[in-house]
């Protein structure tokens, strides 16, 4: 089974850059998108997958998540059941017989870390939501944090930057990595590869990247992970897709 995660930085914009063709070529069983930046009536993905689930922000043109799949879920949840955190369309959870698929677009701490306190509160609330799920979890998305020095191009210079503060890294480890496994690091423990590049100063061309897009899996699923690929040759967004290949039969 193949599952794809991708921060598309605007579904309407990326569809003008070969998105549909890329999705068809990859042929994943699940396609999980973040930062769709659109309301449901503005999103047209007809013909790609039979089951499509969208969670849009109250604020138009902002945030948003979407899952497309060829597998009908038992149930669908939008958000984490907390009004404070469910206004921005950041989470979708699909339930199956033996697992959950969760996609998340984690809040950014913002310019000059203005939203860091909210980010810390989010990490705690979202971690509690995941911990309450009663089956193994496959969780993906733009988690807006680089966990280790291997996950940024210049850890010394970037230390303390948004997405690489001690508070964000600790929150990620305490609330998610305490219960789930980073599938990419499971397969590639020493590899330095990135999933996001700033649009400024030709960062992608120069290799100035960050790994902030993840697949996390429950420990019981670790032995079933076959590969995790960062598809950094796929363009159209400032993020690239990340593909999980896992031997999982529902």
DSSP state of 198: -
- Give residue for tokens 């070969």: 18
Residue labelled with tokens 């013909």: 47
**Residue spans of alpha helices (H) in 27-94:** none
Helix (H, G, I), strand (E, B) or coil at 214: strand
Q: What's the token pair of residue 164?
A: 């690489």
Q: Which residue has the tokens 């993840």?
A: 214
Selection from 244, 240, 249, 169 nearest residue 14 by Cα = 240
Which among 162, 159, 137 has a CA at the least distance from the CA of 244? 137
Q: Which residues are catalytic?
A: 105, 142
Reading the block at residue 241, the tokens are 């897709």
List Cα–Cα distances, 198 to 64, 201, 210, 232, in angstroms: 20, 8, 9, 14
DSSP structural state of residue 46 = T
Cβ atoms within 10 A of the Cβ of 202, count? 10
Task: Quote the DSSP letter at residue 23.
Answer: H
């Amino acid at each position: 089974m193949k599952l794809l995660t991708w921060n598309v930085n605007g579904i309407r914009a990326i569809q003008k850059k070969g998105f549909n063709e890329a999705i068809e070529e990859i042929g994943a069983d699940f396609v999980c998108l973040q930062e769709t930046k659109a309301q449901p009536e503005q999103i047209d993905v007809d013909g790609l997958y039979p089951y499509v689930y969208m969670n849009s922000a109250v604020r138009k043109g902002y945030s948003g998540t979407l899952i497309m799949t060829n597998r009908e879920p038992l149930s669908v949840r939008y958000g984490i059941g907390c009004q404070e955190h469910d206004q921005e369309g950041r989470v979708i959870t699909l339930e199956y017989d033996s697992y959950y698929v969760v996609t998340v677009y984690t809040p950014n701490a913002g310019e000059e870390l203005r939203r860091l306190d909210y980010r810390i509160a989010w990490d705690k609330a979202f971690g509690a939501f995941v911990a309450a799920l009663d089956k193994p979890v496959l969780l993906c998305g733009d988690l807006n944090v680089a966990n280790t020095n291997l996950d940024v191009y210049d850890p010394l210079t970037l230390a303390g930057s948004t997405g690489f503060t001690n508070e964000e890294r600790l929150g990620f480890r305490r609330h998610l990595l305490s219960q789930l496994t980073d599938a990419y690091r499971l397969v590639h423990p020493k590899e330095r590869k990135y999933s996001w590049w700033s649009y400024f100063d030709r960062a992608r061309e120069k290799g100035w990247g960050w790994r902030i897009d993840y697949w996390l899996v429950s420990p019981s699923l670790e032995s079933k992970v076959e590969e995790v690929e960062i598809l950094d040759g796929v363009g159209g967004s400032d993020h690239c897709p990340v593909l999980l290949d896992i031997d999982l039969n529902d």
